[in-house]
């Protein structure tokens, strides 16, 4: 891609060219780092996620260090439970998790009401962090916001067992809950876009074929994704968060999302063949295995992913979950970045 004589290609330009199924200067890569920002600034995870300035600064510093092609406007999945009035539990070496349910029975589900975004301090902190990231990065870097899909959020809201019962035994109440969650999801996504996010990651792990059969997905998660994504006023990327989805690629294309996250358990080369210019792919480095990689391991895995999916654009190298664990060392992240620069420059003449 030519960006004009003497002008360096920006990360945003690189990503957009690849999403157009053309080859930019090199394969774009996203290091989707959340808790690592706390380590970068020498803060506890709790204090880091309480400070919009820190979250923005952490993302900027990590991008400058590793040279990846995005800023990640994501704190923790349970921030949405916190927004609805639930409790969040913090740990010293990993992401915060939901520490309480919003409802424990059918009557509790009926009493749920989606909050206004402006009434939620935790969401306002994230929006301020996005505004700061945008102010400092301008148009050079894509900023990726995050929402939990309406189909997956109830696992945190009411618990796994109760949610399965709801789906299979009380569809009327299930669809009432989906209406609440769809409304909140779209409002939360659009608030992030208005604050400066470039695109929204639509996390939907419950739609993975590891969780529900395709037939049930088509009745539920697929319909919900079509409705919700249509209400989001910007581009989206759908991510099954490590769950497999190879057999769902054609269905996901129909939801009008722009990108699909691919699991390390899926065949990336086969995903590239099936997607065939209809949807871009994101993935699929194994974040759990990454904790114990050597530099040689990182180079091998990066090369393998680029070989499988890099040609012809339509590919962003990333981890397979949408969040790189705290326990992945900085040395491994350095090695991943070095390997992308060494092996991801187009044209990929070394790929056979």
pLDDT digit string (tens) for 291-316? Answer: 999 999 999 999 999 999 999 999 99
Residue 283 DSSP SS3: strand
pTM of the model: 0.96
Q: Which residues contact 252 (CB under 8 A, 6 or more apart)?
A: 225, 238, 245, 260, 279
In 3D space, the residue among 327, 161, 151, 306 whose CA is nearest the CA of residue 243 turns out to be 151
d(Cα 281, Cα 18) in Å, to the nearest integer?
A: 10
For 308-345, write each residue's pLDDT tens digit.
Answer: 999 999 999 999 999 999 999 999 999 999 999 999 99
Question: Mind listing the pLDDT tens digit for each residue in 99-150?
Answer: 999 999 999 999 999 999 999 999 999 999 999 999 999 999 999 999 999 9
Mean pLDDT throughout 7-20?
95
Q: Is the pLDDT of residue 53 over 90?
A: yes
CA distances from 37 to 40, 242, 325, 338 (A): 5, 22, 12, 20
Instruction: Report residue 352's pLDDT band, with 50, 70 and 90 as the boundaries.
Output: confident
DSSP 282: E
**pLDDT > 70: percent of the chain:** 98
Instruction: Give the pLDDT score at 2.
Output: 43
* Radius of gyration of the chain measured on its C-alpha atoms: 19
The average confidence (pLDDT) of the chain is 96
- What 3-state DSSP class applies to 259? strand
How far apart CA 314 and CA 336 sit, in angstroms, is 20
* Strand runs labelled E in 286-336: 315-319
Confidence (pLDDT) at 7 = 74
What is the total residue count of the chain? 352
Domains and CATH numbers, the chain: 11-343 (3.20.20.210)
Find residue 285's DSSP bridge partners.
319
């Amino acid at each position: 891609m030519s960006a004009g004589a003497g002008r360096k290609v920006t990360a945003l330009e690189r990503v957009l060219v690849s999403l157009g199924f053309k080859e930019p200067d090199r394969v774009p890569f996203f290091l989707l780092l959340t808790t690592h920002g706390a380590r970068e600034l020498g803060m506890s995870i709790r204090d880091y996620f309480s400070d919009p300035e820190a979250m923005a600064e952490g993302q900027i510093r990590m991008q400058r260090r590793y040279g990846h092609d995005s800023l990640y406007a994501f704190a923790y999945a349970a921030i949405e439970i916190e927004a609805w009035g639930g409790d969040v539990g913090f740990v010293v070496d990993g992401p915060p998790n939901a520490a309480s349910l919003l409802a424990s029975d059918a009557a509790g589900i009926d009493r749920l009401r989606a909050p206004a975004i402006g009434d939620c301090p935790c969401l306002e902190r994230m929006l301020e962090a996005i505004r700061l990231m945008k102010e400092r990065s301008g148009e050079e870097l894509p900023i990726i916001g995050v929402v939990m899909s309406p189909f997956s959020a109830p696992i945190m809201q009411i618990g796994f067992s109760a949610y399965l019962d709801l789906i299979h035994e009380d569809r009327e109440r299930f669809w009432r809950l989906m209406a609440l969650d769809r409304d909140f999801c779209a409002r939360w996504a659009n608030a992030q876009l208005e604050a400066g996010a470039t695109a929204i990651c639509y996390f939907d792990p419950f739609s993975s074929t590891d969780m529900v059969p395709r037939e049930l997905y088509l009745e539920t998660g697929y319909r919900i994704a079509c409705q919700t994504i249509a209400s989001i006023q910007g581009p989206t990327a759908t991510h099954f968060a490590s769950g497999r989805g190879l057999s769902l690629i054609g269905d996901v294309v129909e939801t009008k999302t722009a990108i699909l996250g691919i699991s390390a358990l899926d065949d990336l080369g086969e995903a590239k063949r099936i997607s065939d210019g209809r949807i871009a792919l994101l993935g699929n480095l194994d974040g759990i295995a990454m904790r114990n990689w050597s530099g040689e391991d990182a180079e091998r895995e990066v090369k393998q992913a680029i070989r499988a999916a890099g040609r012809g654009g339509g590919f962003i190298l990333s981890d397979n979950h949408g969040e790189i664990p705290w326990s992945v060392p900085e040395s491994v992240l350095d090695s991943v970045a070095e390997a992308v620069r060494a092996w991801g420059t187009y044209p990929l003449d070394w790929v056979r």
